[in-house]
Structure 1
């Protein structure tokens, strides 16, 4: 869909692997096996925030350590359980968007083992970048951790979406900031160069950055608000780290596009249609609201947060929080609950602290009780089948990206910004 986030292109990768499994005689079961964890085995102080955070990091630790080769390359599988883990099919691909969030969440706490694991994932992102079949600085949507464990690059999602590139760039920028290792900044600059060369659109107003490239390498001509927010955050970080004002100028272009997408009632539209200029007004996604605020720090997007609280909130059983878009507000999107909670904490307006804590409390409840949970990680949604409005569904399966967003929200750490020295 024009202007869609395409953050991970999850459904396209799932569909491709389902077809491959069917051809190979190992088709997934028609319905997922739902396994509840045993609360008595894990829960001591069920909703204690500090214990919850510690257990969420334990979940990430186990995912990172699961697939490693002899050279210390590791990529964590993104999803596990429920829809993604059946008696006949186990979905293991690692989405680079999720990997970037894992790296940033580790730098947020910054313990020695956190930085060690962050570096193993960061080094692996440099490895897949260096071994890309085109080799022009890009990374792909997703990779197979089993391949990494065998010392090879196995691409499961060949697309090159601008937002994913920017997220990997921000992860590498964070690692450079945390370690001083020049390799990470060099990798980030290569990604920044790819984005600028392949997606900058300074001919079709509002100017900004297009969606990237499809699996087949065709250019995506629409522009996404989410992607441009990602680019604004990433290029601002490059400007800070390099002292080169050209990156600040480019970040301003991306920020300008985001501003052009804000409607009169305060919400931020998803982006443009294929012509790169006509605003795509449907659906209205949550991350266009929250990430515009986080990436730019501009108070104008407080109105987008208020619009979210009035229009995108869902209640599903004991869980409350935002949905992924206005198309389906029947289920809670816990990933979005994390970045909405963080946005409210950082806005710090009247009542925002209580609203953020309510969202975090609901996430902690899901950590303890959600179907397919393990008492440590966070599932992506409150129940299966959340319709994003962009042609894919989200499921109540354990998710590294959701868990990482929860940890960033709990820490009050904005991934679009470098920590203060």
Structure 2
């Protein structure tokens, strides 16, 4: 697998939050459909066991090379991915959100250790420590400071700084500050926020923030030629909205308020809305950053836009994704990795994934499936009646896909050579999945997929400060 970009709510684990969005009468109505799991198969203990297994996987991955209070980041994929000890910045941000939502004393401590790992990575980033994060780091050996975070050099050289990765690290740091009030987290969040503003703020129509920077063969920082990403601007809007709240409506170093800077990202996102879809285009293409990129159309733009904006005017993008990006993978699918009678219905990465020439066009992307669960749960909080029931039904079906995948897929995998138990953690995709952006997802266990599963099944929204929709 090549990865060049990151990239049980009927359960007492939701506590009071579940009661507020899913009263017993609503759940009984949702379960009335024979096409979704029965109440007996969705009992609280089963969901707690599934969530516990996902947390245990995160813990094993985090403790693969160092334990206790040692500052570190987490290897993103099982050894079988071929990515060695690579820890993607985005994946680690998702893990922080998952741990904070889990809320146990151990999970809280782990979230803070990972936050300290991000702070160290930012302060010691190669070859620039100007507030940015690299795409990824290695975590199998200590630095000279004893921190298990070192540059992801040969053979990958994951030095690129995409705006989405920066914003995700910033959101994780902002949530840590919100929870702990430790100033170092806010300082690091402000540092990366200012880096985004100073290096990617675009004055070309329709505004927003450009893709980010690359590091060339001379270790020089150069602007990416990839145009502007709708997903990145969704992330930046949410992040800068958090900074606005945490700084009491403060300003960036360029003098603009965080509120105005968030609005600059939001303006780009809205410009990418296609009402006839209805969905969001992927962004703009080319060096001039003005021509809309019409293909492929990604899942994350459709679900993350709702999680970030909570705006019913654009909520139909979720339905578009469910209708157009929801394949079923089975052993009969060309290029499928599945065997026997296994079938999995869930989300794929984008429209290109459904038209691939070398991967499984029916592969289910489990991280994106969890994105959609989170968006559906968030949407239920502004719905009543049949619409609310239907969203719960859809979410329950997708959770069942993730639960079954965790229970059955990913046998014989390891981290640092240590076996990972079957039933612990989610694989990235049910079969080889082509994103259409020059990289693929495979069947290795993945902290990003598992982290998003934990976020969704614990009723969290990482785009909102404090996680509530």
TM over 0.5: yes
Offset, 1:68: 2.7
In structure 2, which of residues 267, 287, 292 is the aligned counterpart of residue 279 of structure 1? 292
Aligned residues, how many? 375
Counterpart contact for 1:159–1:214, Cα < 8 Å: yes
After TM superposition, the runs of 4+ consecutive aligned structure 1 residues lying more than 2 A away are 5-9, 67-71, 81-84, 147-154, 371-374
SS where residue 94 of structure 1 aligns? strand
- Which string of whole-angstrom CA distances, capped at 9 and with x for unpartnered residues, describes residues 223-244 of structure 1? 0000000001100111111112
Structure 2: tracts of 5 or more residues without a match: 8-42, 153-157, 251-256, 331-342, 355-361, 414-421
Secondary structure of 1:381's aligned partner: coil
The 3 A distance-change label for structure 1 pair 47 and 311 is farther
Query: Does the CA contact (< 8 Å) of 1:69 and 1:148 recur in 2?
Result: no
Partner of 1:237: 242
Deviation at 1:149, TM superposition (A): 6.7
- Of 408, 414, 435 in structure 2, the residue corresponding to residue 388 of structure 1 is 435
Task: Provide the residue aligned with 2:423 in structure 1.
Answer: 375
Please say if residues 208 and 233 of structure 2, whose CA atoms lie closer than 8 Å, have aligned partners that are also in contact: yes
Q: Is the 8 A contact 1:73 1:149 kept in 2?
A: no
**Residue-by-residue CA offset, 1:98-134 (whole Å, 9 max, x unaligned):** 0000011111121111111111111011011111232
1:182 matched to 2:183: yes
Residues 293 and 46 of structure 1: CA distance in aligned 2, closer, same or farther (over 3 Å) = closer
Structure 1 pair 420/310, CA: closer, same or farther in 2 (3 Å)? closer
Q: Are residues 1:143 and 2:137 paired?
A: yes
Give the aligned partner of residue 278 of structure 2: 266
Aligned equivalent of 1:343: 375
Query: CA 1:47 to 1:315, structure 2 compared with 1: closer, same or farther past 3 Å?
Result: farther
Offset, 1:302: 1.3
Specify the SS of the correspondent of 2:346: strand
- Point out the more displaced range, 389-398 or 65-74: 65-74
**Residues 1:295 and 2:308 are matched in the alignment:** yes
CA positional deviation for 1:307: 0.8
How far apart, CA to CA, are the structure 1 residues paired with 2:67 and 2:44?
35
CA distance in 2, matches of 1:129, 1:328: 34
Q: Does residue 401 of the first structure (1) align with residue 448 of the second (2)?
A: yes
- SS of the residue 1:398 aligns to: coil
- What is the aligned partner in structure 2 of residue 158 from structure 1? 159
2:273 match: secondary structure: coil
For residues 148 and 331 of structure 1, do their structure 2 counterparts lie closer, same or farther at Cα, with a shift above 3 Å needed? same
Deviation at 1:82? 4.0
Matches within 5 A, 1:78-89: 78-84=76-82
- Larger mean CA deviation between 358-367 and 370-379 belongs to 370-379
Cα RMSD of the aligned pairs, angstroms, is: 2.1
Task: Decide whether aligned partners of structure 1 residues 7 and 240 sit closer, same or farther in structure 2, where only a CA change above 3 A counts.
Answer: farther
Q: Is the partner of 1:208 in helix, strand or coil?
A: coil
| 2-structure distance, mates of 1:352, 1:220 | 39
Within a 5 Å distance, the mapping from 1:39-58 to structure 2 comes to: 48-58=46-56
User: Please, which moves more after superposition, 90-99 or 223-232?
Assistant: 90-99
Segments of structure 1 that go 5 or more residues without pairing to the other structure are 10-44, 85-89
- Check conservation: 1:214, 1:220, Cα contact below 8 A: yes
CA distance in structure 2 between the aligned counterparts of 1:46 and 1:403, rounded to whole angstroms: 19
Contact 1:173–1:185 (CA under 8 A) maintained in structure 2: yes
Matched residue SS, 2:141: helix
SS at match of 2:224: strand
Encode CA deviations 1:177-219: one digit per residue, 9 max, x unaligned.
11110000000000000000000002x1100000000132220
Q: Report if the CA contact (8 A) 1:47-1:364 is conserved.
A: no
Q: Aligned in 2, Cα 1:110/1:371: closer, same or farther, shift over 3 Å?
A: closer
SS across alignment from 2:295: coil
Pick from 311, 320, 323: which aligns with 2:345? 320
* Residue in structure 1 matched with residue 266 of structure 2 by the alignment: 255
SS at match of 2:454: helix
Q: CA deviation at 1:69?
A: 7.6
Tell me the equivalent position of 1:417. Answer: 464
Shift of the alpha carbon at 1:50?
1.3
Pick one of 376, 382, 393 that aligns with 1:354: 393
Aligned to 1:21: none
- Whole-angstrom distance in 2 between the partners of 1:57 and 1:71: 18
Structure (1 or 2) with the larger CA radius of gyration: 2
